[in-house]
Chain A
Amino acid sequence: AQSVTQLDSQVPVFEEAPVELRCNYSSSVSVYLFWYVQYPNQGLQLLLKYLSGSTLVESINGFEAEFNKSQTSFHLRKPSVHISDTAEYFCAVRETTSGTYKYIFGTGTRLKVLA
């Protein structure tokens, strides 16, 4: 079974500073990787995904993530964060079990943007 590791449980950063949220996965086969964001008292929203093709993927709100096969990583970055980016961020990998997709989530990283 695949697994996802998010080593940082909490990342504090000042507004307008850059941030990187780390995600490592364990798999030797093709992977599909996702970043989800969860604002307080809400469900999960898809931020961006890597399915194939270009290893650098971007979201509409300035986040980007790079798929690195040799390092089995899919770190999330943003060059300048806003207060509104404060949320929980989950990295996930999709695997197939009995012909059905399962999504394996990391433990999450709480991004706290400070004024």
Chain B
Amino acid sequence: DTEVTQTPKHLVMGMTNKKSLKCEQHMGHRAMYWYKQKAKKPPELMFVYSYEKLSINESVPSRFSPECPNSSLLNLHLHALQPEDSALYLCASSQAGTGGWETQYFGPGTRLLVL
């Protein structure tokens, strides 16, 4: 099973709302990632969790708050977003070791629209 699932598929929220994106994998991967992708652009890395600890934060605004409650789940909490935050949010996972064969697997994404 090489599946990463994301919920919801679509989300519309106002600038004062609080919402959360969820990501789940059951491949035993210990590294999980959040990316933001604007239309016709490559994914931009936001956060990386390694062994449930935040290891990379690419200077993301504090209105985005990641959380990794266990090795299978990754959340992205959203609060006071701006319209320019509208994008496809992709979750991914990979092994976190140094065997050299690690590959990143992506979920289908959550398409977010901020009004």
- Please list 10 pairs of residues, one from A and one from B, whose beta carbons are closer than 8 Å in the complex, sorted by A's number: A41-B111, A42-B108, A44-B106, A51-B100, A99-B50, A100-B96, A101-B31, A102-B45, A103-B33, A110-B40
CB distance from A52 to the nearest CB of B (A): 7
Report yes or no: A106 in contact with B105, Cβ–Cβ below 8 A.
no
A43 close to B (CB within 8 Å):
yes
Is A2 part of the binding interface, using a Cβ–Cβ cutoff of 8 Å? Answer: no
B74 interfacial by beta-carbon distance below 8 Å: no
> Per a CB cutoff under 8 Å, which of B41, B56, B101, B109 touches A102?
B56
Binding site for B on A (CB under 8 A): 32, 34, 36, 41-46, 49, 51-52, 90, 94, 97-103, 105-108, 110
Closest-CB distance, B79 to chain A (whole angstroms): 24
Q: Say whether B42 contacts A102, CB under 8 Å.
A: no
Q: How many A-B residue pairs have CB under 8 A?
A: 64
Which positions in B face A, CB cutoff 8 Å?
4, 6, 31, 33, 40-43, 45, 48, 50, 55-56, 90, 92, 94, 96, 100-109, 111
Among B33, B42, B50, point to the contact of A106 (Cβ < 8 A): B42
| Chief secondary structure at chain A's binding surface | strand
Contacts of B6 in A (CB 8 A): 43
The 8 tightest CB contacts between A and B, nearest first, are: A105-B42, A100-B55, A44-B106, A43-B108, A43-B106, A43-B109, A100-B50, A100-B48
The answer to whether B108 and A98 touch across the interface, beta carbons within 8 angstroms, is no
Q: Give me 16 other A-B pairs in contact (C-beta within 8 A), A43-B90, A43-B107 excluded.
A: A41-B111, A42-B108, A42-B109, A43-B4, A43-B6, A44-B90, A46-B105, A51-B100, A90-B42, A99-B50, A100-B55, A100-B96, A102-B56, A103-B33, A103-B92, A108-B41
| Cα A52 to Cα B100 with chains together (Å) | 8
CB distance from B21 to the nearest CB of A (A): 13
Take A32-B100, A44-B106 as given contacts and tell me if A100 and B56 are in contact as well, using a CB distance cutoff of 8 Å: yes
